[in-house]
Every structure is written in structure tokens, then in C-alpha cells.
């Protein structure tokens, strides 16, 4: 059983809980390989996905994860709800809880929105990305993918490259990977590195080649065009030239380096198509693993423990 009621971030998630989610996701990944993926584990459990920001991967994989577990999943978007008429986030969530919903997944542009809901609801809350703060299930699926490919996390060098300043994925990965004993380095233009990022236990570089030197994993972040203030770097063309991950820069990393990207990708800006489609790339497997990890999170936050092969 998890020690936590909610999944709000990896900063507050204990190492044992991280490992339990990863181990449980391994069992669910086996279920995903079957012709019929549906198991009765959460039969009839009402779950709502509250998405106040666009999403392809996270929203679809939470929906599929719930459906593969036989939960009753309802999707909610800002534009098609009474939020568009001025209803508050708290009133919306309490309304949903009053209908008998037993778990809420929320993505919101405001950092702390999931924490606010968790304080006001009796049911578990999962953070599916809150502003530039945290994206815990993305980091869990990234860590799951690294562990699956490399057999361990401890002692690996993981380089996170790009727009660290605006990245909830970077923050959650830093918390999770350092708890599990990885060496984490971050790199990008100085304007996209948060001040005092080293206090999170990472080294920071503005020279990409120094950061990727001897790396076991290079996780390339999206340039978040929608969150950029003007002038953080001269142009996308220059960003690609000085900070983009291409085959030449990757020569500095270990030959079996894993290339990761949380998506959606800006091809030709933060990552070249050649690198994204190289044999070292795990980008599509990250997406597959996202379903297994989210099944594990839904199951464990619903009170589940170790599962058997039937999904009970």
C-alpha cells in the first residue's frame, strides 16, 4: 500500500512509494502486452480527468489506464464546463465529488492547483501537471523506462537538457532520480536555468557537450513556446544551433545512451529528427510505459496492494 493518499509531486513522495509504483507498473505492463488488455481491478470506480490545459499523452493515457482497469472514466475540459461560466475550481471539484466520483486527475496551468484540491476534497487527487511546478507521472514513467532499459537508477548519469526554467518534467525528474541515487545534471541557456538550481542536488551547465559527456541518459525537454517571455534566447534557429541535441553533440555521451523526450517534440529545435528516431531513442516506449505507470498509480491510490496475474 502507498503511504500517501494523493500523488501531488515527487518532492513529497517517499522512495519506498516510488519503488512500489515502479514495481506495480511492471505487472501492469505485462497486462498491456495481452490481446485483451482489460482487467476488472477497478470495476465500476468513477474517475474524473479534469484537464484545464491541452494534453495528448497524459490525458489519453490516464483515460486508457482507467478503462483498462475497468473504471468508469469521465473526461472534463474547461471549455465544455461551467468553469467557462465563472465557476471556481473548488466548487467544480466539490460538485464532481458530490456525484460520487472517487478519484480526480487534474492538469492545471496554476502551480499548486492539485494541492489546493487535495486540501478541499476527501478523495485522492493526482497531479497531471501543474504549471511549471511538477508532473509526477511523467517523471515516474521516465524513471520506469530508464530502470527497464538500464536495470538500475543508482549511479547513472542523467542529463536533462533545455528549458529547465519552465519545466515541471525537469523538476519532478530531479526529485525522483536523486532520491533513487542517480547523478543528475541539467543544461540549457543561462536564461532558461532557474537560479540556485544546484540546491536541488544537480550540477548545471550552459555548455551542452559538457553536460552530456559520458551520460547514460539524455532527457531532452520541449522549448515551451507558450510559456516563454520575450528575449530568453535570440531565436529558435540559434537555440537549435547552440543547444539542440543532434548526433554530433551525442558523440560525447556513452555509446548506449538512452534518448528521451516527454513530448510533444519541436523537431529540429530542441532535438533533431535523426536523434529522435535513432535506435537509442526510447520516446515511443516512454508513451507505452506511461499507460502502465498510470494504471499503477490509479490502482495504488485506490487502495490496492501487490497485484496477481489476473489484475487483482
209 touches 233 (CB < 8 A): no
- Provide the minimum distance between the beta carbon of 83 and ligand CP in the complex, in angstroms, as a whole number: 19
Would you say 6 or 286 has its CB closer to ligand CP? Answer: 286
Nearest to 289 by CA among 41, 31, 2, 52: 31
Per the residue annotation, which of 3, 33, 85, 310 is the catalytic one?
A: 85
Would you say 262 or 311 has its CB closer to ligand CP? Answer: 262
DSSP labels, 41-70: TTTT-EEEEEESS--SHHHHHHHHHHHHTT
- Grid cell digits, residue 5: 493518499
Q: 294 Cβ partners below 8 Å, 6+ apart?
A: 61, 62, 65, 137, 141
Would you say 103 or 221 has its CB closer to ligand CP? Answer: 221
- Residue 171 annotated to the active site: no
- Provide the minimum distance between the beta carbon of 140 and ligand CP in the complex, in angstroms, as a whole number: 12
In degrees, rounded to 5, the angle at the alpha carbon of residue 150 between the alpha carbons of residues 182 and 295 is 90
CA distances from residue 146 to 31, 129, 234, 297 in whole angstroms, order as listed:
20, 21, 33, 18
Report d(CA 211, CA 233) in Å as an integer: 19
- Provide the minimum distance between the beta carbon of 74 and ligand CP in the complex, in angstroms, as a whole number: 18
Neighbours of 79 (CB within 10 A): 7
Nearest to 102 by CA among 301, 291, 293, 294: 301
Neighbours of 73 (CB within 10 A): 21
Would you say 296 or 307 has its CB closer to ligand CP? Answer: 296
Per the residue annotation, which of 57, 67, 78, 254 is the catalytic one?
A: 57
Would you say 192 or 307 has its CB closer to ligand CP? Answer: 192
- Residue 58 annotated to the active site: yes
Element (H, E) at 113: helix 113-120
Per the residue annotation, which of 29, 45, 108, 135 is the catalytic one?
A: 135
- Residue 85 annotated to the active site: yes
Q: Which residues sit at the interface with ligand CP, rule CB under 6 A? A: 55-58, 129, 135, 138, 262-264
Per the residue annotation, which of 29, 59, 107, 115 is the catalytic one?
A: 107
Report d(CA 79, CA 51) in Å as an integer: 10
- Provide the minimum distance between the beta carbon of 262 and ligand CP in the complex, in angstroms, as a whole number: 4
- Provide the minimum distance between the beta carbon of 135 and ligand CP in the complex, in angstroms, as a whole number: 6
Neighbours of 146 (CB within 10 A): 25
- Residue 135 annotated to the active site: yes
Per the residue annotation, which of 24, 29, 41, 58 is the catalytic one?
A: 58
1 touches 12 (CB < 8 A): no
- Provide the minimum distance between the beta carbon of 312 and ligand CP in the complex, in angstroms, as a whole number: 29
Would you say 219 or 272 has its CB closer to ligand CP? Answer: 219
- Residue 152 annotated to the active site: no
- Which residues participate in catalysis according to the annotation? 57-58, 85, 107, 135
Amino acid at each position: 500500500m502507498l503511504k500517501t493518499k494523493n500523488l501531488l509531486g515527487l518532492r513529497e513522495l517517499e522512495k519506498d512509494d516510488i519503488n512500489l509504483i515502479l514495481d506495480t507498473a511492471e505487472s501492469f505492463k505485462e497486462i498491456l502486452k495481452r490481446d485483451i488488455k482489460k482487467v476488472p481491478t477497478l470495476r465500476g470506480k468513477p474517475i474524473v480527468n479534469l484537464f484545464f490545459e491541452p494534453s495528448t499523452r497524459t490525458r489519453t493515457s490516464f483515460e486508457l489506464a482507467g478503462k483498462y482497469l475497468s473504471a468508469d472514466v469521465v473526461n472534463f475540459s474547461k471549455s465544455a464546463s461551467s468553469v467557462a461560466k465563472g465557476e471556481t475550481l473548488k466548487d467544480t471539484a466539490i460538485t464532481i465529488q458530490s456525484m460520487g466520483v472517487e478519484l480526480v486527475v487534474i492538469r492545471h496551468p496554476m502551480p499548486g492547483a492539485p494541492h489546493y484540491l487535495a486540501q478541499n476534497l476527501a478523495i485522492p487527487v493526482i497531479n497531471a501537471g501543474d504549471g511549471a511546478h511538477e508532473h509526477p507521472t511523467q517523471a515516474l514513467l521516465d524513471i520506469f523506462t530508464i530502470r527497464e532499459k538500464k536495470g538500475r537508477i543508482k549511479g547513472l548519469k542523467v542529463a536533462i537538457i533545455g528549458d529547465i526554467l519552465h519545466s515541471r518534467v525537469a523538476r519532478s525528474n530531479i526529485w525522483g532520480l536523486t532520491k533513487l541515487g542517480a547523478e543528475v545534471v541539467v543544461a540549457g541557456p543561462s536564461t532558461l536555468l532557474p537560479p540556485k538550481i544546484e540546491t536541488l542536488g544537480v550540477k548545471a551547465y550552459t555548455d551542452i557537450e559538457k553536460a552530456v559527456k559520458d551520460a547514460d541518459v539524455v532527457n531532452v525537454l520541449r522549448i515551451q513556446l507558450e510559456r516563454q517571455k520575450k528575449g530568453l534566447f535570440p531565436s529558435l534557429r540559434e537555440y537549435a544551433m547552440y543547444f539542440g541535441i543532434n548526433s554530433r553533440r551525442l558523440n560525447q555521451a556513452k555509446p548506449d545512451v538512452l534518448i528521451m523526450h516527454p513530448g510533444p517534440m519541436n523537431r529540429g529545435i530542441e532535438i533533431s529528427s535523426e536523434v529522435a528516431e535513432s535506435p537509442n531513442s526510447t520516446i515511443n516506449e516512454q508513451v507505452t510505459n506511461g499507460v502502465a505507470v498510470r494504471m499503477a498509480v490509479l490502482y495504488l491510490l485506490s487502495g490496492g496492494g501487490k497485484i496477481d496475474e489476473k489484475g487483482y
